[in-house]
């Protein structure tokens, strides 16, 4: 399988795409001003304790108070080695603590917390005091003491070696999860990573002792470096990045832990936007469509609601060759893989119901469930799945830590009283900036101007918020850019013409 990481950086927005054999597998978007990243660690102050919900609201310095459940509270004043960590299924897990929240915290208390789920919709961030600090090869958990190894490392001899290496490298109490990237690495590289994350935690504790709540104690890597850390493996063939500064940062970062992969990092300098060059832009557009076609001629209908997501499988144009049962079975098998691909791509989490087409034979239902579980094995998000029912329904959950792609790229539609969604002003404005570059690149003329006509709100945003980006485009393209309001244009409608 050919894997590529494509990075598009602009002043107001950074986008990272993971391609697998040319198909968009994941896309991550981060916009300027977004500060509540999952993984950030704060010194928070308890605002309210709600015994009826066994939860509390904590001020961590963001616009909305963060939500802290009783089960996510740990006492940092005790030795981490005495914590209630245990190991199950080769992964550290906490035993349930049923003591009431009133015995753990009270209003005005100050504690170290980490964002577990970013603010989603109208909800504030969900936080935990069971902190985890990711390194390149391991994840360090100060409140635990056990060592777990990624399930994807199958060789038992290698698993024992990794446990022994990590155990001997530890200088502090704390739990450690060995990531898949550790497989085959020399002891020195792993030990260095262990020492690094332990030092990071020591720095966090020192800052907490001096800071006044609310305060940010530790920031996760930005999207560019975070994506490289989490996505770059030996089987990645290429990293294409279109911003020279990010290119240099990535080269320096990778040279520190995987220098032999540095040659796979390329600076993209073409005039056509990098996402267009690699076919990503068109795939992102399709990623918000309700209907997804299968190669066989069948299709999925994806309905994302507030409480759950429904995926309906249909045979569509696929009529098969033998029997109805065979046609349905083949459609469901193909749909199982595509459903997981769409969950990853759209970053759909929470409760998910997949309505496969009814099958008569039990062996076929079992095969479809097995295919779904096999596809989910490649999904980094934590999932749980129930067996397919007699009616063809599969119930599952997928861990949600960030806003899904549809909500990130769109906003409630003002034209239909909020019952539907359209692209947000920011999304349309960024599309226009990329379109300006694309139109100038395809024009035969080397000079002249590029004219833009769009909805008043979009033009206003471009004038007021993207002035620097437009000036940079004009300098790069050697053309002037003219912005005009089209009063009757829909928020998503615009024209870009290179003259």
Task: Tell me the pLDDT of the chain averaged across its residues.
Answer: 87
For the domain spanning 3-34+222-283, the CATH number is 3.30.420.40
Q: Is the pLDDT of residue 411 over 90?
A: no
Q: 188 CB contacts (<8 Å, ≥6 apart)? A: none
Give 284's contacts (C-beta < 8 A, 6+ positions apart): 17, 24, 27, 275, 405, 409
Residue 200 confidence (pLDDT): 93
pLDDT band at residue 75, thresholds of 50, 70 and 90?
A: low
At residue 353, the pLDDT reads 96
Reported as a single tens digit per residue, the pLDDT across 458-477 is: 999 999 999 999 999 998 88
Residues 189-228: pLDDT tens digits?
899 899 999 999 999 999 999 999 999 999 988 899 999 9
* Per-residue confidence (pLDDT) for residue 382, from 0 to 100: 87
Percent residues over pLDDT 90 in the chain: 55
Residue holding tokens 């469930």?
A: 369
Identify the CATH homologous superfamily for domain 413-498: Ribonuclease E, catalytic domain (3.40.1260.20)
Taking only the tens place, the pLDDT of each residue in 31-55 is 876 666 788 999 999 999 999 999 9
User: Could you tell me which residues come within 8 angstroms of residue 392 by beta carbon, excluding any fewer than 6 positions away?
Assistant: 332, 355, 356, 357, 358, 359, 365
Are residues 286 and 451 in contact, defined by beta-carbon separation less than 8 angstroms? Answer: no
pLDDT at residue number 76: 45
Phi, psi of 17 (to 5 degrees): -120, 140
Which stretch, 352-361, 378-387, 397-406, 417-426, has highest mean pLDDT? 352-361
State how far the Cα of 7 lies from the Cα of 224, in Å rounded to an integer: 7
pLDDT in tens, 260-279: 889 999 999 999 999 999 99
Vertex 4 angle, CA 158 and 183, to 5°? 5
pLDDT at 83 over 50: no
Q: What is the pTM of this model?
A: 0.79
What is the widest separation between alpha-carbon atoms in the chain? 73
The backbone torsions φ and ψ at residue 147, rounded to the nearest 5 degrees and listed phi first, read -115, 125
The mean pLDDT value for 72-77 works out to 66
Q: Report whether 265 contacts 227 (CB < 8 A).
A: no
Task: State yes or no: pLDDT of 345 exceeds 60.
Answer: yes
Q: Among 31-35, 68-72, 419-423, name the most confident range.
A: 68-72
Query: For residue 125, what are the β-bridge partners?
Result: none
Identify the pLDDT of residue 87.
31
pLDDT of residue 100: 85
Indicate whether 142 pLDDT > 50: yes
pLDDT at 85 over 60: no
What's the CATH fold of domain 41-218? OB fold (Dihydrolipoamide Acetyltransferase, E2P) (2.40.50)
What burial class does residue 385 get, using C-beta atoms within 10 Å of its C-beta: 0-12 exposed, 13-18 middle, 19+ buried? Answer: middle
Structure-token match 């990045």, residue found: 241
pLDDT-derived band of residue 88, with 50, 70 and 90 as boundaries? Answer: very low
């Amino acid at each position: 399988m050919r894997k590529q990481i494509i990075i598009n950086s602009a002043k107001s927005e950074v986008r990272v795409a993971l391609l697998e054999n040319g198909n968009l597998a994941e896309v991550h978007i981060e916009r300027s001003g977004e500060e509540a990243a999952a993984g950030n660690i704060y010194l928070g102050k308890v605002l309210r304790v709600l015994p009826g919900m066994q939860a509390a609201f904590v001020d961590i310095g963001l616009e909305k108070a963060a939500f802290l459940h009783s089960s996510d509270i740990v006492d940092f004043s005790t030795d981490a080695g005495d914590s209630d960590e245990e190991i199950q299924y080769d992964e550290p897990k906490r035993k349930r603590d049923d003591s009431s929240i009133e015995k753990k915290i009270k209003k005005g208390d100050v504690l170290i917390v980490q964002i577990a789920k970013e603010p989603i919709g109208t909800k504030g961030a969900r936080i935990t005091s069971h902190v985890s600090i990711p390194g390149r090869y391991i994840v360090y958990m100060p409140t635990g003491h056990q060592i777990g190894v990624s399930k994807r490392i199958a060789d038992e001899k290698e698993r024992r070696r990794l446990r022994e290496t990590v155990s001997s490298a530890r200088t502090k109490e704390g739990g450690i999860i060995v990531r898949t990237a550790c497989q085959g690495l020399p002891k020195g590289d792993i030990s260095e990573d262990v020492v690094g994350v332990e030092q990071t935690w020591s720095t966090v504790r020192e800052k907490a002792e001096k800071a006044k709540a609310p305060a940010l104690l530790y920031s996760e890597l930005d999207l560019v470096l975070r994506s490289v850390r989490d996505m770059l493996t030996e089987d990645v063939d290429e990293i294409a990045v279109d911003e020279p500064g990010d290119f240099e940062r990535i080269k320096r970062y990778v040279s520190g832990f995987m220098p032999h992969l540095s040659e796979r990092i390329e600076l993209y300098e073409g005039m056509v936007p990098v996402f267009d060059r690699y076919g990503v832009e068109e795939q992102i557009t399709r990623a918000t469509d309700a209907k997804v076609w299968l190669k066989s001629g069948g299709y999925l209908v994806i309905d994302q609601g507030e409480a759950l997501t429904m995926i309906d499988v249909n045979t569509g144009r696929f009529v098969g060759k033998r029997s109805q049962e065979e046609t349905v079975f083949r459609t469901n098998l193909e749909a199982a893989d595509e459903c997981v691909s769409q969950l990853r791509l759209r970053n759909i989490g929470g409760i998910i119901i997949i309505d496969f087409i009814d099958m008569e034979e039990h062996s076929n239902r079992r095969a479809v469930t097995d295919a779904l579980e096999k596809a989910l094995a490649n999904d980094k998000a934590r999932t749980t799945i129930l067996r397919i029912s007699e009616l063809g329904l599969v119930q599952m959950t997928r861990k949600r830590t960030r806003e899904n792609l549809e909500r990130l790229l769109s906003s409630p539609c003002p034209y239909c009283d909020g019952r539907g969604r359209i692209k947000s002003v920011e999304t349309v404005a960024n599309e226009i900036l990329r379109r300006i570059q694309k139109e100038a690149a395809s024009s035969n003329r080397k000079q002249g101007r590029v004219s833009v006509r769009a909805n008043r709100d979009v033009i206003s945003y471009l004038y007021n918020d993207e002035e620097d980006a437009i000036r940079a485009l004009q300098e790069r393209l050697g053309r002037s850019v003219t912005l005009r309001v089209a009063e009757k244009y829909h928020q998503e409608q615009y024209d870009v013409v290179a003259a």
